[in-house]
Amino acid sequence: MTIQDAMNKAVLLPYQKLWILDKALVKVWEKSRRIGASYVEALNCVIIAMMSKSAGGMNCYYLSYSKEMTQQFINDCAFWAHILGIACSDMEEVVVSDEDKDIMVYRIRFDSGFEIWGLPSVPRSLRSKQGHVVIDEAAFVDDLAELLKAAMALLMWGGSVSILSTHNGDDNPFNILIQQIHSGDKDYSLHHTTITDALSDGLYRRICEVKDKEWTEEKEKQWLSQLEKDYGEAAEEELYCIPTRSGERYFSAALVASCAVKDKPVFRFGADDSFTFERRERREKECRKWFREVRPVLQATELPVCFGEDFARSGDLTVLHFDTELSDGSTDTLCVIELRNVPFAQQLQFIMLCCETLKNFNGAAFDSRGNGQMIAEMMAQEYPGSIFQVMLTRAWYAENMPKLKTAFEDGKTNIPDDLFLKDDYKVVGLVQGVPLITDRTGTQRSKRHGDGCIAKAMSLFAHNELEGGQYQEMTYEAVETPNRFRHRKEDDEW
């Protein structure tokens, strides 16, 4: 089968055809999201892997920042092979030893003898490899410069490299690479496709065909408008290839979107200022009334549950992120609770109700800065050995935010698909190399300060500490020793 035959069978859009037909050794695609770029690169890899060595066939290696993206890419490759009638194996999961841990990689094999591999996005993944390398969402991998260095080494023996990405800030290495191509410092082939370019080439028409819906210009405008609304302030960067000053954003929009799961409940409760001075009986009754909505969700699981708390009394939010702990070491969001302007006593009451209701409460981490220390200490008294009182310092963020990011990348945890919670991850930026909350979101009446992100990081911290058995209740055993000052039996008894 020729490349042209494969393209005719695949029915590609014009900008996708241009990518396939480009035979440059290194080609870069500066692109909008949701235009099928990774999808068509999967076809490109199938075309390369199906050919004989004499015709230019070779192994293909796909690298990205997300395990789920890697699985999807290999599945897309298998799909294209099926469409083109090319014999290949099913996707295989292969465990390989990598320094101090085993990692899972994915592959499919072709009758040509070549394979397509899905690898972790670290430079050492390409050691002793030869073939075609794909770096997807290059702006979001941890060390693009080193990854490119490793990939370019494959060119010496006839390999090739495809680099695809949306932007992630104007000082990101991917944007620097784009500028080097424009200036002539890098002699690479550059493709540029915004959402407008894709629509002009028939993207929405194709979507309508696949969904068996009628295309109209008005529907296309509505679809684009909704897309821009979904991305909000990030639309220029995510859809129109205009890098913003968000290059230091720690959690990329793509990463947050990849771990956001629908149907994870988020409960929001707030009180006005006068509620603080209501009679205690009324405040307690109102708190129990709020809790009726939450109780069925907390009672619905027999699995161990941990949670993290980020405290605020007024202005910002107190957020409780509850996670069920799974047997494979991962966690799954049970629910999130937000409390706004709720008095100390009722925050403690609400949290106690949650812990008492859970069938298998395993532990929690509490924000112990400032006023939050009171509730954290009271909970530690109620549940000795299960409560971590955390002082949120730069050192704590430096150690634990990377763990949360890795858990997202590895698909080991998730968050609710909630716009406000997802916004909490936008304000985490690198400050002198440390991931910190750098800004606020929301309006004057609904301010947020990354509260949901901190609560999630605290929940993961509690899970890791409990799973690792690092936290142990202190015990002692008395040991008799001689004491020359003992003179009387009654002294000993006292």
Range of weakest confidence among 41-50, 160-169, 339-348, 429-438 = 429-438
The whole-number pLDDT of residue 162 equals 98
Claim to verify: residue 30 and residue 167 sit in the same structural domain: yes
For 87-101, write each residue's pLDDT tens digit. Answer: 888 888 887 666 656
Q: What is the dihedral of CA 437, 440, 446, 450, to 10 degrees?
A: -20
Per-residue pLDDT averaged across 372-389, rounded?
A: 94
Claim to verify: residue 264 and residue 156 sit in the same structural domain: no
Claim to verify: residue 51 and residue 107 sit in the same structural domain: yes
CATH number at residue 12: 3.40.50.300
Per-residue pLDDT averaged across 232-255, rounded?
A: 78
Claim to verify: residue 293 and residue 372 sit in the same structural domain: yes
Alpha helices for 275-343 (secondary structure H): 280-299
Claim to verify: residue 290 and residue 148 sit in the same structural domain: no
Residue 240 is assigned to a structural domain of this protein: no
Alpha helices for 108-172 (secondary structure H): 144-152
Residue 494 has pLDDT above 80, yes or no: no
Claim to verify: residue 259 and residue 204 sit in the same structural domain: no
Claim to verify: residue 261 and residue 206 sit in the same structural domain: no
Claim to verify: residue 115 and residue 261 sit in the same structural domain: no
Q: Give the model's confidence band at 140: pLDDT under 50 very low, under 70 low, under 90 confident, else very high.
A: confident
The whole-number pLDDT of residue 490 equals 43
The whole-number pLDDT of residue 444 equals 47
Which of 156, 179, 210 is the endpoint of a domain?
210
Residue 156 is assigned to a structural domain of this protein: yes
Residue 229 is assigned to a structural domain of this protein: no
Structure tokens at 422: 């997802």
Q: Give the model's confidence band at 287: pLDDT under 50 very low, under 70 low, under 90 confident, else very high.
A: very high
CATH number at residue 354: 3.30.420.240
Residue 199 has pLDDT above 90, yes or no: yes
Q: Give the model's confidence band at 66: pLDDT under 50 very low, under 70 low, under 90 confident, else very high.
A: confident
Q: Could you list the residue range(s) of the whole structural domain that residue 428 is in?
A: 255-468
For 204-226, write each residue's pLDDT tens digit. Answer: 999 999 999 999 999 999 999 99
Which of 192, 210, 228 is the endpoint of a domain?
210
Residue 422 is assigned to a structural domain of this protein: yes
Percentage of residues of the chain with pLDDT beyond 70: 89
Range of weakest confidence among 85-89, 168-172, 362-366 = 168-172
The whole-number pLDDT of residue 486 equals 46
The whole-number pLDDT of residue 9 equals 74
Q: Give the model's confidence band at 468: pLDDT under 50 very low, under 70 low, under 90 confident, else very high.
A: low
The whole-number pLDDT of residue 492 equals 44
Alpha helices for 29-188 (secondary structure H): 37-50, 67-84, 144-152, 173-183
Instruction: Give the residue among 17, 26, 96, 85 at the shortest CA–CA distance from 50.
Output: 85
Residue 291 is assigned to a structural domain of this protein: yes
The whole-number pLDDT of residue 489 equals 43
Number of domains in the chain: 2
Q: Give the model's confidence band at 478: pLDDT under 50 very low, under 70 low, under 90 confident, else very high.
A: low
Claim to verify: residue 172 and residue 308 sit in the same structural domain: no
Q: Which residues lie closer than 8 Å to 226 by C-beta, 6 or more apart? A: none
Residue 476 is assigned to a structural domain of this protein: no
Q: Provide the whole-model pTM.
A: 0.58
Claim to verify: residue 196 and residue 272 sit in the same structural domain: no
Residue 89 is assigned to a structural domain of this protein: yes
Percentage of residues of the chain with pLDDT beyond 90: 64
Residue 236 is assigned to a structural domain of this protein: no
Claim to verify: residue 197 and residue 339 sit in the same structural domain: no
Claim to verify: residue 22 and residue 165 sit in the same structural domain: yes
Average confidence score pLDDT of the chain: 88
Q: Who has greater pLDDT, 230 or 233?
A: 230
